Chain A
Amino acid sequence: SQTIHQWPATLVQPVGSPLSLECTVEGTSNPNLYWYRQAAGRGLQLLFYSIGIDQISSEVPQNLSASRPQDRQFILSSKKLLLSDSGFYLCAWSVRAGGFTGELFFGEGSRLTVL
């Protein structure tokens, strides 16, 4: 069966520090991968999605970047965090286009607090 792991679960970082959130998927090949952010009192915002290694689309201009060094690994990074980067970050995967039904499988999330 497929599983998705996301870490760290909780992170408290000072403004200006770097960030690295990692996500890996097991039990499937060639998945679509996604990073969403859920800010307090706001909805779920799509940050990045990837349909393959080194194929990443950025949805919203921001202080963050994403990389996909391996088929089932998706990394969210920042060189210098801002207060506004605080939020709940969710990684997700789906079956790739052709089999895509819109069912996303989410990780448990990473709560980032920038102080």
Chain B
Amino acid sequence: GEDVEQSLFLSVREGDSSVINCTYTDSSSTYLYWYKQEPGAGLQLLTYIFSNMDMKQDQRLTVLLNKKDKHLSLRIADTQTGDSAIYFCAESIGYNKLIFGAGTRLAVHP
């Protein structure tokens, strides 16, 4: 069935890099996504990658996709306190649905 898994918690020191990992099951997913949720708010799209790409870079964000292993990662360089949030991995199913993982809570400490 459809399933997206990710670790639940990550703690990093300010200025270090953060790497959040995700595995998914549907090999036919066209796009894979990272969403960010600030405390008490809805989710916002952070970045996405097309399934025929291996890597996408957007300023401090780097997305890596290993389609063979169905593994997606998000790297945040020079992590700041403002990056503290919950990060959700998601895969597209068909033309209308997104299936989300449980979310990884990123805590950034001085």
What residues make up the interface of A, taking CB atoms closer than 8 Å to B?
32, 36, 42-46, 49, 51, 90, 92, 94, 96-98, 100-104, 106-109
Contact = CB atoms under 8 A, between A and B. Distances in A.
Nearest to A111: B40
Most buried by B among A46, A98, A102: A102
Given A46-B99, A49-B97, A103 B42 contact: no
B45 A104 contact: yes
B24 interface: no
Interface of B: 4, 30-31, 33, 35, 40-45, 48, 88, 90, 92, 95-103
A103 B31 CA distance: 10
Does more than half of chain B's interface fall in helix, strand or loop, or is it mixed?
strand
| Interface pairs A-B: 4 shortest CB-CB | A106-B42, A43-B102, A97-B95, A44-B100
Given A43-B88, A43-B102, A103 B96 contact: no
Nearest to A94: B96
